[in-house]
Structure 1
Amino acid sequence: MSRTAILVSCKELPEGDGDDAAVVPALASLGFSVSWEPWDSGFDFSAADAVILRATWDYPSRRSEFLSWCESVPSLFNPAAVVRWNTDKSYLVELLDAGVAVVPTSLVPPGSPATSPSSEFVVKPSVGAGSRGAARFAAGADASAHVAALHAEGQTALIQPYQSSVDTEGELALVYLGGTFSHAFAKGAMLGSTTDSSGLYLAEQLAKADPPADAVELAEDVLDAATGLLGILRAELLYARVDLVRGADGKPLLLELELTEPSLGFRQTDPSAALRFASAVRQQLA
């Protein structure tokens, strides 16, 4: 039985950044007719069996419109409720409160003053993608101008101590498909990197990685806590990317949990990962 799967993008990157190239034939091999479509093109997504968010990287400046569109799509993956929760990084505080090892995070909503940490720190918007709007500051530096600029855009600012391990080890991204670990890849430091030609994300240095046991354990804890907060089963997530860094004590910390439209590192892992993704899509429809 033929099914239709639409990979959702944005007008600036109508077929993504190339990372999902292997997904198209993998889905086709499992009986799907596959096409790409920008989320705001006016296309009727309602008839598709699976509508899969992949490169909707223009949403931060139009989040309300994007969420309304998500809620209008019957077979969206990941679901609209997950997207609403995950596209505001204040979820990090919820996970922190749930006992997960998260990079310490404080929220500064519009109208509230910012307090600079005594160590090097990062300020970023609560709604953003691809590290756009993030800035790094020296210990005790005055970040009020950057915070004010975010507030002027209606954003809540996130302040986090900078994790120096990023300069030497970068980040570790663990990818889960259908709630089960699939593969991992390493990401180099992005702050100060150049922007891609689309203007939607910063260029990254990526490489295949084998995650150590403590990183896998934390990633599992993150997914359990997140799905508990969302009231869903892990298997109900088509994909998840858990981004970790090492803290000053050498232990892993959650930097971000990507459940909306992350690159999944298919170019940095074995070819069978794309088939695992396609199989996970079928699982969601079962």
Structure 2
Amino acid sequence: MTDHHQPARGEPRVALVTCTALADLDEDDRLVLAPLSARGIIAEPVVWDDPGVDWAGYDLVVLRSPWDYMFRREEFVTWAGRVPRLVNPADVVRWNTDKRYLDELSAAGVPTVPTSWVLPGEPWQPPADRGEYVIKPVVSAGSQDTGRYDLADPRHRDLALAHLRRLGAAGRVAMVQPYLTAVDTAGETALLFLAGPDGLAFSHAIRKGPMLTGPDEGADGLYKPEEITARTADPAQRGVAAKTLAAVPGGTDRLLYARVDLIPGPDGTPVLVELELTEPSLFLGHADGAPERFADAIVTQLTRA
């Protein structure tokens, strides 16, 4: 059991926020523990909905893997609003945990995957082009409850409608996007940014292999496995990432981290799939020095706090 009492020593205390299923943190997040200790920081994994936690007793509260909030988003964002010295901040959490933020970024000039939204109980007409489409809830992570549908196939159309009905029956807003086939060959590129003295700075990039092979038939809500390798971000990807971050409400100077997920669009230029500001995997184990850079970013935020 985690000891949430203030230690006698004067080292800064940092809570690394997680969920019950990952009470000892995700394997990748554990990589930052030794660098933080080397910097004189006491870091503790803490479950976000543990009622016994004194959040005010921490010098910084860092969101890492609270991945069970998807069906409890309002509870989660209300909790975030009560936690002092939370990073990323509560208003960012509220904005970023509903993927309808993509509309705002698109309106700001960020190239994004075209997206339509389906409210619970709202009728949906399959697109006329009958291509491949992705359906998922607007509050989700790890490709949970996400399916890929070839709408030229009558069975897939029926499964897509069933998927939307299933989400609607649970009171969840759905999003529908064209499937970008370049992900099958080029994969998805995630660019990771961490806090530095002058604001967010690029840290590293990774490639995620294709994950969606077909419809979601509601058998389970488990995370789908990811194929991760290191990648060098090219100038076009860096440019889209910079434009994306420039459009974040309230600016990025107060952020501890950001992850910008891109896929080549139909013409090969990168488009934004997701902007992860709440609880992204940072893939610290896929870049030399990344755990140390994350520890330094936490030190930067402690100084600001």
TM superposition score normalised by structure 1 = 0.93
- Which residue pairs with 2:42 in the alignment? 33
- Which shifted more, 261-270 or 24-33? 24-33
Runs of at least 4 residues off by over 4 Å: none
Give the direction of change, closer, same or farther, for the CA distance of 1:51–1:200 in structure 2 (3 Å limit).
farther
Per the TM alignment, residue 188 of structure 1 is displaced from its structure 2 partner at its CA by 0.8
SS in 2 for 1:123: strand
- Which residue pairs with 1:96 in the alignment? 106
- Which residue pairs with 2:7 in the alignment? none
Per the TM alignment, residue 237 of structure 1 is displaced from its structure 2 partner at its CA by 0.9
The answer (yes or no) to whether the contact 1:93–1:106 under 8 Å persists in 2 is: no
- Which residue pairs with 1:213 in the alignment? 235
- Which residue pairs with 2:282 in the alignment? 264
Letter in 1 for 2:193: Y
- Residue 274 in structure 1 maps to residue 295 in structure 2: no
Q: What do the CA deviations read for 1:16-73 (whole angstroms, capped 9, x no partner)?
A: 3201122111111222101111111222212101111111100001111111111111
Q: Percent identity?
A: 46
Per the TM alignment, residue 192 of structure 1 is displaced from its structure 2 partner at its CA by 4.0
Matches within 5 A, 1:35-50: 35-42=44-51, 43-50=53-60
- Which residue pairs with 2:19 in the alignment? 10
- Residue 135 in structure 1 maps to residue 156 in structure 2: no
- Residue 188 in structure 1 maps to residue 188 in structure 2: no
- Which residue pairs with 1:249 in the alignment? 267
The answer (yes or no) to whether the contact 1:57–1:200 under 8 Å persists in 2 is: no
Gaps of 5+ in 1: none
The answer (yes or no) to whether the contact 2:285–2:291 under 8 Å persists in 1 is: no
Gaps of 5+ in 2: 1-9
* Partner Cα separation in structure 2 for residue 18 and residue 200 of structure 1: 18
Tell me the matched-pair count: 278
Matches within 5 A, 1:41-120: 41-42=50-51, 43-117=53-127, 118=129, 119-120=131-132
* Partner Cα separation in structure 2 for residue 277 and residue 257 of structure 1: 18
* Partner Cα separation in structure 2 for residue 190 and residue 36 of structure 1: 29
SS in 1 for 2:125: coil
* Partner Cα separation in structure 2 for residue 44 and residue 280 of structure 1: 23
